[in-house]
C-alpha cells in the first residue's frame, strides 16, 4: 500500500492537514454543531470556512464547546477562512479578516485566502480587479506579519493571476484552493504550483450535491469502488491525496463524514489511477475564473 503523510509542510514551514472538512452551505447552529461533532470525533483536524458561507459564528461558538470534549485546544485545529469578493481592497480586507477572527472566537487564523480573483460588482474585464487583488494581498501580508494569519493564499486563481501576484508580493502564497477532480484535472496549474512550492488544495472533489452528480455516478468511479469495496467518494478523495493534493470534502451525513476521512488504509493501483486520469473533460461543476481579468 502507498503510504501518505497526513499533513504537508507549506512554504512557510507550517503544516496543513491533507484532509479537512468543507463547510460550504452548512448553516444553522444545530446543523453546524452536529457536523463539527461528527468531524472532530472522526479525526478531522482542519475546518474550512469563508465569510460568504455565513457560518463562521456558529463554527466558532460550537468549536468552543466541542474541542474540550476531545481534550483538544485551539492549536490542535487548523482553521481556514476566506476574503469575500465584496471585501476586496486594503481597508475592507483587513476589517473582514479581523471580523472573521472575532466571530470564529480565535486569536488567529491558520490560513486566510482571497476567495475570488475579482471584486464584486465589477465586470469581469474591469482592470480594477488587478488593483483590488494587490491591495487585498498587501493587507494580508500586514496581518501575516502581525501574527493574525499564520499562512496566506488564494482560491480560484489561475496561473496568470498567480504570476501577477508573484511579481509584487513579499510573501508568496502558501496555498491555492481550486476546483479539482477527475473531470477537471488542471495538470498545467498543478505543475506550476509544484514549481513555485504552492500547496494545491482541491474543492468540489466529489462534484456537486445535486441528484445528478456526474462524478459519484461515473461508471469508472463506481467500478473501482466496487472492486475495492470502498465508496465512490472514498475513491475520488483517495485519487487526489495519492497525488499529494489536499481535499476538503463537505457532508452533513455523519456516516459520510467518517467515511470521507478513512482514505489512508487503501491504495489505488496504477491502473486505477490511469483510468481516473482518463476521465479528464475540462468540466467545471462550480465557478470558472477564466473570465476574470
Crossing angle of helices 270-277 and 219-228, in 10° steps, is: 160
In the prediction, which pLDDT does 81 show?
98
State the Cα–Cα distance between residues 241 and 113, nearest whole angstrom: 21
Answer whether 237's CB lies under 8 Å from 211's CB.
no
pTM reported for the whole predicted model:
0.96
DSSP string spanning 180-247? -BTTB--HHHHHHHHHTT-EEEEE-TT--SSTT-TTTT-HHHHHHHHHHT--HHHHHHHHHHTTT-EE
115 is in an annotated binding site: yes
Sign of CA dihedral 224, 228, 232, 233: negative
In the prediction, which pLDDT does 14 show?
98
Based on the residue annotation, tell me whether 53 is a catalytic residue of this protein: yes
State the Cα–Cα distance between residues 250 and 277, nearest whole angstrom: 23
In the prediction, which pLDDT does 27 show?
95
In the prediction, which pLDDT does 210 show?
65
In the prediction, which pLDDT does 84 show?
97
State the Cα–Cα distance between residues 111 and 10, nearest whole angstrom: 11
Q: Would strands 111-114 and 246-247 be described as parallel, antiparallel, or unpaired?
A: unpaired
What string of pLDDT tens digits covers the 293 residues of the chain? 677 768 999 999 999 999 999 999 999 999 999 999 999 999 999 999 999 999 999 999 999 999 999 999 999 999 999 999 999 999 999 999 999 999 999 999 999 999 999 999 999 999 999 999 999 999 999 999 999 999 999 999 999 999 999 999 999 999 999 999 999 999 999 999 999 999 999 999 998 776 678 999 999 999 999 999 999 999 999 999 999 999 999 999 999 999 999 999 999 999 999 999 999 999 999 989 999 99
State the Cα–Cα distance between residues 218 and 210, nearest whole angstrom: 14
Q: Which of 44, 53, 144, 157 is catalytic?
A: 53
Please give the CATH topology (third level) of the domain spanning 9-210+240-253. Answer: TIM Barrel (3.20.20)
- Domain extent listing, the chain: 9-210+240-253
Amino acid at each position: 500500500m502507498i503510504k501518505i503523510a497526513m499533513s504537508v509542510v507549506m512554504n512557510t514551514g507550517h503544516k496543513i492537514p491533507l484532509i479537512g472538512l468543507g463547510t460550504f452551505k452548512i448553516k444553522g447552529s444545530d446543523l453546524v454543531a452536529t457536523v463539527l461533532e461528527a468531524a472532530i470525533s472522526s479525526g478531522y483536524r482542519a475546518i474550512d470556512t469563508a465569510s460568504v458561507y455565513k457560518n463562521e459564528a456558529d463554527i466558532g461558538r460550537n468549536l468552543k464547546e466541542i474541542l474540550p470534549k476531545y481534550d483538544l485546544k485551539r492549536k490542535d485545529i487548523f482553521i481556514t477562512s476566506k476574503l469575500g469578493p465584496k471585501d476586496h481592497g486594503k481597508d475592507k480586507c483587513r476589517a473582514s479578516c479581523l471580523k472573521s477572527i472575532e466571530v470564529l472566537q480565535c486569536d488567529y487564523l491558520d490560513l486566510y485566502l482571497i476567495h475570488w480573483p475579482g471584486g464584486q460588482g465589477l465586470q469581469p474585464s474591469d482592470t480594477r480587479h488587478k488593483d483590488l487583488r494587490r491591495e487585498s494581498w498587501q493587507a494580508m501580508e500586514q496581518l501575516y506579519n502581525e501574527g493574525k494569519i499564520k499562512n496566506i493564499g488564494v482560491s480560484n486563481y489561475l496561473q496568470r493571476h498567480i504570476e501577477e501576484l508573484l511579481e509584487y508580493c513579499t510573501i508568496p502564497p502558501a496555498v491555492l484552493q481550486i476546483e479539482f477532480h477527475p473531470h477537471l484535472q488542471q495538470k498545467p496549474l498543478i505543475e506550476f504550483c509544484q514549481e513555485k512550492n504552492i500547496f494545491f488544495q482541491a474543492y468540489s472533489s466529489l462534484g456537486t450535491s445535486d441528484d445528478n452528480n456526474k462524478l459519484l455516478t461515473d461508471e469508472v468511479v463506481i467500478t473501482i469502488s466496487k472492486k475495492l469495496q470502498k465508496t465512490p467518494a472514498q475513491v475520488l478523495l483517495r485519487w487526489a491525496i495519492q497525488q499529494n493534493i489536499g481535499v476538503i470534502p463537505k457532508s452533513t451525513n455523519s456516516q459520510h463524514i467518517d467515511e470521507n476521512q478513512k482514505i489512508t488504509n487503501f491504495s489505488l493501483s496504477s491502473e486505477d489511477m490511469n483510468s481516473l486520469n482518463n476521465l479528464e473533460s475540462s468540466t467545471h461543476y462550480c465557478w470558472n475564473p477564466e473570465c476574470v481579468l
